[in-house]
A = this chain, B = another copy of it.
């Protein structure tokens, strides 16, 4: 998180929540319009129309208006078809309103507290998704949540974890819960169902039906966030069972749907999703490329958190490695971008052959023989937190190469679907925690991503969280999201001969066809 970078939005002064000073015309015998009607008429003249006031809040609203002598701040939340009057506060309170952006990930939940008026991040927390207790993979959870009872159990765990993290963020920043007026969430389709309390059981069986793809703006308290009495909650819609609100949020964050030239968004999380398109069309596909790239399947792999090795350089002569540990200190493991660097450097140092095997001709001081076969000692006991060497085995590398090949294959296939060459792609956004740390030069060197000028690659971090954050600061995105949703076509990657050949070629370093990677010269 970078607190100094403002949330990037196209339209300034169009936040999802507006806090405006109201000075109502004084009532008189000749103008004895009812108080609430006086307010809604005044708001309509200011451009807020229609305004809805929740029945249970009407009396409180009138009493607050009267106690403020009809001069006060009205806080209004945009709900697409109408504005919701969220609060009436003291005129002197200032215009600052807050919101939460939430990325509902399968593995981790990321919550961000945002000063909506100032478009600034106030704080951010990443926590493990407590639903992992019922299964690391989403399918186990869907199976578990078949009954209403077990669904609510999963949901309660999720809400409780979110509420707790929100409370922590508020405490750390000294912001009152009563100043939070919006919660903007995005997750994949299953997570969206868990979050809203909808039966997910049909998502994973033919013909793959979500219970709902769209969710109305609702009061956060109505959905279980009792400590946020005046807050609206927005959940990004899904395109379908395979393309969720997290992807939609990413597409909006990368602004794919307003570009003349084709752009691509590569989102590597628990799964890998690729979206390609421009202002006229959008294609989405998904693949299981993720876990390895996030460091998940490597023996000593880990996510890009403090302690992870995220940068590796290998001396071409001594074959000794040099690396960077996130957050400094001793190394605990290696994350995805570290792994990319490692393989790319081993390849250029000729420790690895183009087949991804350890060289048999090289006498490398870091080679080790282990019960699982040969391994490369990236870190020595003196450099690690547990005083054990960090070893990367040939098997680890084999698994990793399958992931990188899967990624490249997906990119090739989706481009070929629409008759595009990689060279036609003007901008490629790499999202996910992985995308934030990746060095495109290294990723190109191993043949994971196309050999294009490096300035076409942009790491945008957690694009789901970014999209959710941007919505808080730019309400025009509510309509943009609907537009994007209707534009996206999901492409099923059928396992056929063409795909398998593509994949086989991509298993090499960088590829069996060197013409695809002209800039890669070991």
Binding site for B on A (CB under 8 A): 27-29, 31-37, 50, 52-53, 55-56, 58-59, 62-63, 66, 81-82, 148, 151, 196-199, 202, 206-216, 218, 222-223, 238, 240-241
A-B contact pairs, 5 of them (CB 8 A): A36-B213, A37-B214, A58-B197, A62-B212, A66-B202
Please provide the 7 A-B residue pairs with the shortest distance between their CB atoms, ordered closest to farther.
Answer: A34-B210, A36-B212, A34-B213, A62-B211, A55-B218, A32-B207, A29-B207
**A199-B63, A240-B34 known; A58-B207 Cβ under 8 A:** no
How far in angstroms is the closest Cβ of chain B from A261?
A: 31
Contacts of A66 in B (CB 8 A): 199, 202
Q: Which of B27, B37, B59, B213 contacts A213 (CB 8 A)?
A: B37
| Given A28-B207, A208-B32, A55:B196 Cβ within 8 A | yes
* Closest Cβ–Cβ distance, residue A203 to chain B (whole Å): 9
Q: A199-B62, A240-B34 are in contact. Are A55 and B215 (CB under 8 A)?
A: yes
Using A34-B211, A50-B81, A62-B211 as known contacts, list a sample of 13 further A-B pairs with CB atoms less than 8 Å apart, ordered by residue number in A. Answer: A29-B207, A31-B207, A32-B240, A34-B214, A34-B238, A34-B240, A35-B209, A35-B212, A37-B213, A55-B196, A55-B215, A55-B223, A63-B148
Say whether B28 contacts A59, CB under 8 Å.
Answer: no
Give the distance to chain B from A206, nearest Cβ to Cβ, in Å: 7
- Residue in B closest to A197 when the chains form the complex, CB atoms: B59
CB atoms of B55 and A222 under 8 A apart: yes
Residue of B whose beta carbon sits closest to that of A38: B209
Chain B: minimal CB distance from A477 (Å): 20
Alpha-carbon distance between A82 and B55 when the two chains are bound, in angstroms: 17
Contacts of A241 in B (CB 8 A): 32
**Chain B residues within 8 Å of A28, by CB:** 207
Q: How many angstroms from the CA of A499 to the CA of B248 in the assembled complex?
A: 71
Copies of this polypeptide in the complex = 2
B52 with A216: CB separation less than 8 A:
yes
Complex interface: chain B residues within 8 A of A218 (CB): 55
Q: Which residues of B contact A238 (CB under 8 A)?
A: 34
Task: Tell me which of B31, B58, B210 contacts A35 (CB under 8 A).
Answer: B210
User: A53 touching B198 by the CB < 8 A rule?
Assistant: no
Distance of A212 Cα from B35 Cα, bound (Å): 6
Chain B: CB-nearest residue to A151: B59
Across-interface contacts of A81 in B (CB, < 8 A): 50, 81-82
| Residue in B59, B215, B240 whose CB lies within 8 Å of A198 | B59
B212 touches A37 (CB 8 A): yes
Q: Of the candidates B55, B58, B202, B212, which one forms a contact with A58 in the assembled complex, judged by CB atoms under 8 Å apart?
A: B212
Residues of B within 8 A of A215 (CB): 55
A361 → B minimal CB distance (Å): 52
A27 touches B207 (CB 8 A): yes
- Chain B residues contacting A206 (CB-CB under 8 Å) are 29
User: By the criterion CB–CB under 8 Å, are B53 and A216 in contact?
Assistant: yes
**Most chain B CB atoms below 10 A, which of A34, A212, A238:** A34
Per the bound structure, the CA–CA distance linking A81 and B238 in Å amounts to 25
Q: Which residues of B contact A62 (CB under 8 A)?
A: 198-199, 211-212
Q: Contact check, A211 vs B55: say whether CB atoms are below 8 A apart.
A: no
Name which residue of chain B comes closest to A82, CB basis: B81
Give A241 to B27 CA distance when docked, in angstroms. Answer: 13
A62 to B212, CA, bound (A): 8
Question: Which B residues are in CB contact (< 8 Å) with A59?
Answer: 148, 151, 196-199, 211
A35 to chain B, nearest CB (A): 5
A52 to chain B, nearest CB (A): 6
**How distant is A24 from chain B, measured CB to nearest CB, in Å?**
11
Chain B nearest CB from A204 CB (Å) reads 12
- Provide the bound-state CA to CA distance between A43 and B71, in Å: 44
| Given known A29-B207, A81-B50, contact A196–B35 (CB-CB < 8 A) | no
Identity of the chain B residue whose Cβ is nearest the Cβ of A206 in the assembled complex: B29
Asked if A32 meets B209 with Cβ closer than 8 Å, knowing A55-B218, A222-B55, A222-B56, the reply is yes
Q: Which residues of B contact A222 (CB under 8 A)?
A: 55-56
Give the residues in chain B near A50, CB-CB below 8 Å: 81
Q: In this complex, which of A27, A37, A151 has the most chain B Cβ atoms within 10 angstroms of its Cβ?
A: A37
Residues of B within 8 A of A58 (CB): 196-198, 211-212
User: Which among A55, A58, A199 has the greatest number of chain B C-beta atoms within 10 A?
Assistant: A55
Given A148-B63, A197-B59, does the pair A34, B223 have CB atoms closer than 8 Å?
no
Taking the closest CB of chain B, its distance from the CB of A222, in whole angstroms, is: 6
Cα distance, A29 to B199, chains bound together (Å): 19
Across-interface contacts of A36 in B (CB, < 8 A) = 211-214
Contacts of A210 in B (CB 8 A): 34-35
Nearest CB on B from A238, distance (A): 7
A56–B240 Cα distance when bound, in Å, is: 21
A399 to chain B, nearest CB (A): 32
